[in-house]
Amino acid sequence: MTLHQAYARCQAIAAAHYENFPVASRLVPARMRPHVAAVYAYARAADDFADEGDLPPADRLGHLAMWREYLQASAAPGFTAAAVATVSASDAQAIFVAVQDTAQRCGLDPVLLADLLSAFEQDVTQTRYDSWSDVLDYCRRSANPIGRLVLGIAGVHDAEAARQSDATCTALQLANFWQDLGQDWRRGRLYVPAEVLERYGAQTGALDQGATDVPWRAAIDDVCGRTLQLFADGRGVCDAVHGRLRYELRATWLGGRRILDRTAAVRQQSLHDRPVLGAADLATIAAGALLWWRR
């Protein structure tokens, strides 16, 4: 498999999915697109392993352990596609050939790629969280590495930009959690931590009855408020990059904020009404990205 073929496959994977992170947008500079797609394809495949609902947890963890072995192999001198067994996943060779080249060319920290696997492994074994700090630690490994990897690919190696990126990526992850509250609950998963529920007297039994009562609405207000602050803390990362990429990051930030605002507005029906963005929202986001400093 040639390097060109490997990157082409990763870009096809990226183009086939929609996420809150920039993976295939034309606003991402052409020189960055193959590298961003390689990171995305790596994370997408691992996430799919964690979410293979028909497989026992032990099998899903086994697939993730295999992915970790391939990651370690790709960081070793003399790595070739032959180090990745073709029977493991149809795209594995392409993904790790591209990831190895991207990490080397862009000077990416391999710990960030390993942290993503740690979070996916946690997805398999943990469905509830005791404290807000536990939720933030999960986001530190599930979302923040993506932002830092994108910054690295863009050539931005700045501590303040990394801090702002962490805040934005955590906020995007949390906004997605609150957006998917009902959907996640029906799958047996809850990200609102127990300490927040206890503060307002919110009972999970209310969710079983399909209702978000007054205590639950207070809990949702609480976590949405914390998430809003994280968006504010991370806003500056959108201008830590240059050229068209800053418009991509602005649009991503604005889209996450709009989802959060929509979720907070419908919190009484949040178990049933999953907020989504439509064409009018996209137009507003595009305008906001252009008029960024007039907000």
Q: Is residue 96 part of a domain?
A: yes
Q: In this structure, are residues 104 and 96 in contact, taking their beta carbons and an 8 Å threshold?
A: no
Q: What is the pLDDT of residues 80-102, one digit of tens each?
A: 777 776 545 568 999 999 999 99
Instruction: Check whether residue 170 and residue 288 sit in a common domain.
Output: yes
Instruction: Check whether residue 161 and residue 99 sit in a common domain.
Output: no
| Total count of domains within the chain | 2
Query: Residues with Cβ < 8 Å from 118, sequence gap 6 or more?
Result: 141
- The pLDDT assigned to 94 comes to 92
Looking at the whole model, is its pTM more than 0.85?
yes
Domain boundary among 78, 109, 140: 109
Q: In this structure, are residues 251 and 206 in contact, taking their beta carbons and an 8 Å threshold?
A: no
- The pLDDT assigned to 87 comes to 45
Q: Is residue 116 part of a domain?
A: no
Instruction: Check whether residue 105 and residue 130 sit in a common domain.
Output: no
SS3 label, residue 150: helix
Instruction: Check whether residue 74 and residue 210 sit in a common domain.
Output: no
Query: Residues with Cβ < 8 Å from 106, sequence gap 6 or more?
Result: 35, 152, 153, 155
Q: Is residue 169 part of a domain?
A: yes
Helix (H) or strand (E) holding 263: helix 245-265
Write down the mean pLDDT value for the chain. Answer: 90
Instruction: Check whether residue 139 and residue 166 sit in a common domain.
Output: yes
Residue 283 in tokens:
């137009």
- The pLDDT assigned to 95 comes to 94
Q: In this structure, are residues 248 and 22 in contact, taking their beta carbons and an 8 Å threshold?
A: yes
Instruction: Check whether residue 174 and residue 94 sit in a common domain.
Output: no
Most confident among 10-19, 72-81, 174-183 (mean pLDDT): 174-183
**CATH code (residue 180):** 1.10.600.10
Instruction: Identify the domain containing residue 15 by its residue range.
Output: 1-109
Burial label for 268, CB within 10 Å (0-12, 13-18, 19+), is middle
Domain boundary among 47, 78, 109: 109
Helices (H), 89-244: 92-106, 110-125, 132-142, 144-154, 159-179, 181-186, 194-200, 204-208, 214-234
